[in-house]
Amino acid sequence: MTRKRSAPRRRRGTTGQDLHARLQAAEDTLRALRAGEVDALVVTGAGDEHVVTLQGADLPYRILLDQMYAGAVTLTPDGVIVYCNRRFADIVRTPLARVIGSALCRFVPPPEQPTLEALLERASEDQTRGELTFRAGKGTLVPVSATFAPLRLGGNAAVSGVIGVVVDATEQKRQEELRTQLLTQVMAAQDKERARIARELHDETAQSLTALLVGLRTLGESRSTAEATERAHALRDIVARTLDEVGRLSRGLHPSVLDDLGLAAAVTHHVQEFARLHGIAVDVQTKGLDAEPLPQLLQTTAYRVLQEALTNVAKHAGARSVSVRLVRAEATVELRVRDDGTGFEPGDGRRLGLRGMRERAALLGGSVEVASQRGRGTTITAHFPLRGA
């Protein structure tokens, strides 16, 4: 008779299959966290549990955070990253899927970790800020400015974690330097404008007023009524010419038509006056400017660029005709001034006021491009973003 071996008794508790299943579940959870597929975490504490929402109902906030210029992170109390936006992943030069689930100290070199620990410890009670150095990518060191604050959910006074905002100090410093440079250029442009106004007042208005003063003195020396009448007519002409000069100077400083009727009317009026003063044929077209008023700063900037462009035509181009085109698109306003003058080579050292135009456009996030060749005229194209204004 063949004896059968009895099957071994199963041990109570966790079997190999159960352990494998739990390990598989943990790996799936970690993968889902890193891939950003988890809506929320249920965190169980002593006698209670609460939910840390990652997306789901907070999807609009996630989209907002992803568009932030600064990096944003959400940390567990022990410093593990459960959420970060794409900007933070860019700062540490690490794929987003590899950032989530990692400890924040992983991205901080050892000498800086005591500083990070101190910041996170204080952040469990109140907002704190400090300067750190992150180790990004293949060991590249990135100076950052970090702000941490306690995370409290659902009105609960208990601290559930830490939220942080991280700004790349290198980029921040570059932006500050650019801002300082633009402010310096604006001040230089203002001084240049003041000098131009003072020169025009001295050369034209002051001379006209001096002639008027001399004429008034000689008026009393007239030997007959006819002579006095003749001198009075001459003085009237001087006054009329002075009023025209002051009006032109006033419109150059700030045209009232820009406030009253808008950019399209101001551009048309200025181009027509330019044609009358300089005897140059002009063609002006405006499109898309009647539907909705443009921001005041954009109107003023576009008008100033047009003024400078036409001044260059009058002084340097020797043109017979000029075309001006002002068009509003969905996100930008384009100004194009084209002449059939002598043109110039980009490297011949002549600025033609281009620096001032570019500085004005840059303050709105816009640009000015120049295309010119000897004997083929010049085209100046300026773009002004509506959002920047």
Supply the pLDDT for residue 349.
Answer: 44
Query: Does the pLDDT value for residue 9 go beyond 50?
Result: no
Separation CA 215–CA 385 (nearest Å): 53
Give per-residue pLDDT as tens, 288-304: 887 777 888 888 889 88
Query: Going from the N-terminus, what domains does the chain have, and what CATH number goes with each?
Result: 24-169 (3.30.450.20), 255-389 (3.30.565.10)
Beta bridge mates, 222: none
Cβ-proximal residues to 314 (8 Å cutoff; 6+ apart), any chain: 274, 278, 280
Contact 39, 56 (CB under 8 A): yes
What is the residue whose two structure tokens read 């400890």? 103
pLDDT band at 51, cuts 50/70/90?
very low
Give per-residue pLDDT as tens, 110-159: 999 999 999 999 988 889 999 999 988 778 888 998 999 998 876 677 88
More confident residue, 139 or 326: 326
Supply the pLDDT for residue 29.
Answer: 62
What are residue 120's phi and psi, to 5 degrees? -70, -35
Whether the pTM exceeds 0.85: the reply is: no
Supply the pLDDT for residue 382.
Answer: 93
Burial (CB < 10 A; 0-12, 13-18, 19+), residue 330, is exposed
Give per-residue pLDDT as tens, 299-324: 888 988 998 888 888 888 888 999 99
Q: What is the dihedral of CA 134, 136, 139, 143, to 10 degrees?
A: -40
Among candidate residues 192, 198, 196, the one with its CA nearest the CA of residue 359: 192
- Per-residue DSSP letters for 138-197? TTEEEEEEEEEEEE--TT-SS--EEEEEEEEHHHHHHHHHHHHHHHHHHHHHHHHHHHHH
Query: Does the pLDDT value for residue 335 go beyond 90?
Result: yes
* N residues, the chain: 389
